[in-house]
Amino acid sequence: MEKTTKQNEPLVTHIFTADPSAHVFEGKLYIYPSHDLDHDGPSNDNGDQYAMEDYHVLSMEDVNAPCVDHGEVLHLRDVPWASQQVWAPDAAYKNNTYYLFFPAKDKDGIFRLGVATSPNPQGPFQAEKDYIQGSFSIDPAVLVDDDESAYVYFGGLWGGQLEKWQTRTYQADAEGPAPTEPALGPIVAELSEDMKTFKNEPQEISIVDEDGNPILAGDEDRRFFEGAWVHKYNGLYYLSYSTGTTHKIVYAVSENPQGPFVFKGTILKPVIGWTTHHSIVQFKDKWYLFYHDCSLSDGVNHKRSVKFTEIQYNVDGTIQTIDPYGDE
């Protein structure tokens, strides 16, 4: 008998999954996670412990229905340009096609963004022969707006190599800004109609406080670290992301998909494990936060499990802060 899915519990327990990107396709919830592998390799700030090699697709008919694993839909060996580490992906639908966007290191050990396609939301996906030209860093998240224009958001510090691209050419020894300088923001690029190339040059997103001042690099409770996600609510664009070192999911709001975004607050308090990575999706008349933690593996950072919980908006459009273990 299949197990019914419950909020704040692992969606699946037969494999370790992380970095869930949730979407509603064909009336169902589809979740596109990364797939953690158990191994004896090093664990460090460069992210070598995250040695993922393939992607699975999960789906649910309803939030209370069993979660189905559709199996492996893309493997590293089938990506001609990639050498290792297929990390957090996202999916999008346009042109009667499903697109899987993903990061991986190229043959030179530099993270790039790739895209794969399928006629079905559950895959399997066929990778393009080369990465998206002009792409770099990690954690792609795609918003197909109401007018069918599409934007990809990406970037991640430390192992995600974002600091090394401040000049828009790869500088292996580059470091991030000083604590008193503006923090590095996530990157946004509009996608071409075919969803496989950038329509324009990638631009850094500005995240500011309520007074219009840039969030500083030393402000680790608010500054961007990785895992950007953008969704729309009541006509506004909500940029949410991980703060990394302080282990929160926070958010900022804008009237423009490319910003600037005004910081608003915390969505999710820290979970068990180092990383935190999420997505936000509306399903029927409710909104849900998909995230991961390491509760199933007793805190092993590269053995994570995808979970979800309902989120609530206040009348003024702000999001109520969630304690992932508040009801235990």
Active-site annotation holder among 78, 226, 255, 293: 226
Using CA atoms, how far residue 206 sits from 186, 249, 254, in Å, is 8, 17, 10
Residue with the two structure tokens 């019914």 = 4
Beta strands in 1-159 (DSSP E): 16-25, 28-36, 54-60, 68-75, 82-84, 90-94, 97-106, 111-118, 126-127, 141-144, 150-154
Spatial separation of the C-alpha atoms in residues 40 and 38, rounded to whole Å: 7
Contact 102, 86 (CB under 8 A): yes
Contact 204, 171 (CB under 8 A): no
Whether 69 is a known active-site residue: answer no
Using CA atoms, how far residue 193 sits from 197, 200, 212, in Å, is 8, 12, 33
Whether 145 is a known active-site residue: answer no
Active-site annotation holder among 2, 19, 26, 148: 19
Closest by Cα among 156, 295, 274 to 226: 156
Residues in the chain: 328
Residues involved in catalysis: 19, 226
